[in-house]
Amino acid sequence: MSILITGGTGYIGSHTCVDFIKKGLDVIILDNLSNSRAEVVDYIEQITGIRPKFYHTDLLDREGTKKVFDENDIESVIHFAGLKAVGESVLKPVEYYRNNIVGTLNLIDEMRAHNCFKIVFSSSATVYGKPKTVPIKEDFPLSTTNPYGTTKLFIERILEDLCVADDRFSVALLRYFNPIGAHESGLIGDDPNGIPNNLMPYITRVAKGVLPHLNVFGNDYETRDGTGVRDYIHVIDLAAGHYSALKCLEEKGVHIYNLGTGRGYSVLEIIEAFERVNNVKIPYIIAPRRAGDIAECYADPSKAAYELGWKAELGLDDMCRSAWKFEQLNTRK
Ligand code: WQD
């Protein structure tokens, strides 16, 4: 029996592949390489000693997706594949809805046609919109402020409705906060195409001299130092959270968990930690607020701790150190 990881050459997907292979699971990767490179499969093999089967396929390609299920005995799916840039989604909503939602519907069709009824979905804290209070619990109200977040919310609803209609399914909705860091080897990490949207890959490229300075998007928020506060979680901890989530799939129905550390750091605190740990300077300027940003967002991760026996173990220093090591080793074109 195998586990299909859609988006498995991506940032979180590749780290999850490594975690699962090291824990003895048989992993198959499906990825369209729209925001990652085929070399990641080589790196996964280099780290684990095992080369996972890789299908260069798009979930919008019905025949290609069917082929993956026809050729393998897939017991469950970890579904990462999707477009994920908040700003880009505002400019290209139709592409985001088609890619993320239609892709998921195609995946569900092939799962049903092949008696595969277990899925873990890569959701996001963005479904909480602008939370009234923090820390955030799983039963907080849901709302979204951009098409990317709306695709996550819609897919959660689709999977919930699927479980009501078909009691063969078990679904885990994992709401990630802010994944950063990289595998200790420095071979895999957050390697977005073009200018990074997210804070940490932008910082590492400033440290490398590829970008001149960091723009801090606003320092007038209602936070301890005026800059945005987020729950940064090491991608290694996040990957392990997916392994823990497999347990809950033994039970039918929908299971929802926040995957965060329960602690928030501000942008200025991230800069300070990165400079201290790596002995580098990160020049920055205070820039206007970014549209759609909220002041503060961090998790109450107690439900995952209680029900899955999972909690984040790695600290901010290791997140900063590993992110910088990956950037230094990464000879991205
Ligand atoms: C973090 C903080 C910015 C860049 C988004 C999505 C979420 C997930 C992670 C995909 C904020 C500030 C950032 C920069 C800055 N996406 N910042 N200068 O927006 O919390 O979450 O990415 O999986 O679903 O919503 O992450 O890293 O973009 O921003 O000052 O150049 O850093 O204002 O306070 P965000 P982020």
Q: Please, what is the average pLDDT of the chain?
A: 97
The three state secondary structure string of 190-238 is CCCCCCCCCHHHHHHHHHCCCCCCEEEECCCCCCCCCCCEECEEEHHHH
pLDDT of residue 27: 98
Please give the CATH topology (third level) of the domain spanning 2-181+233-260+299-314.
Answer: Rossmann fold (3.40.50)
Q: How confident is the model at residue 231 (pLDDT cuts 50, 70, 90)?
A: very high
Q: How confident is the model at residue 155 (pLDDT cuts 50, 70, 90)?
A: very high
CB 24 within 8 A of CB 32: no
Report the pLDDT averaged over residues 96-108. 98
238 lines ligand 1 (CB under 6 A): no
Which ligand 1 atom sits nearest the alpha carbon of residue 202? 31
Q: How confident is the model at residue 86 (pLDDT cuts 50, 70, 90)?
A: confident
The residue length of the chain stands at 333
Catalytic residues: 148
pLDDT of residue 37: 94
> Cβ of 2: how many Cβ atoms within 10 Å?
18
Q: Which residue's alpha carbon is at the smallest distance from atom 4 of ligand 1?
A: 199
Percent of the chain with pLDDT over 90: 95
Residue 165 C-alpha to ligand 1 middle, in angstroms? 36
Pocket test for ligand 1, best of 156, 178, 238, 316 (most atoms within 8 A of CB): 178
pLDDT over 80 at 331, yes or no:
no
How far is the C-alpha of 200 from the C-alpha of 180, rounded, in Å?
Answer: 7
197 lines ligand 1 (CB under 6 A): yes
Residue 290 C-alpha to ligand 1 middle, in angstroms? 9
pLDDT of residue 193: 83
Q: How confident is the model at residue 87 (pLDDT cuts 50, 70, 90)?
A: confident
Q: How confident is the model at residue 118 (pLDDT cuts 50, 70, 90)?
A: very high
Residue 96 C-alpha to ligand 1 middle, in angstroms? 18
Residue 197 C-alpha to ligand 1 middle, in angstroms? 7
208 lines ligand 1 (CB under 6 A): no
pLDDT of residue 1: 87
pLDDT of residue 59: 98
pTM value surpassing 0.75:
yes
321 lines ligand 1 (CB under 6 A): no
CA nearest neighbour of 148 among 79, 230, 92: 92
pLDDT of residue 311: 97
Report the pLDDT averaged over residues 287-308. 95
- What residue type is assigned to position 115 of the chain? N
Report the pLDDT averaged over residues 184-192. 95
Report the pLDDT averaged over residues 194-223. 96
Question: Could you read off the pLDDT of 250-261 as tens digits, one per residue?
Answer: 999 999 999 999
pLDDT over 90 at 291, yes or no:
no
Q: Which residue's alpha carbon is at the smallest distance from atom 8 of ligand 1?
A: 178
pLDDT of residue 41: 98
Report the pLDDT averaged over residues 160-172. 98
CB 132 within 8 A of CB 121: no
223 lines ligand 1 (CB under 6 A): no
pLDDT of residue 96: 97
Which ligand 1 atom sits nearest the alpha carbon of residue 203? 31
pLDDT over 70 at 333, yes or no:
no
Residue 230 C-alpha to ligand 1 middle, in angstroms? 8
Residue 198 C-alpha to ligand 1 middle, in angstroms? 5
217 lines ligand 1 (CB under 6 A): yes
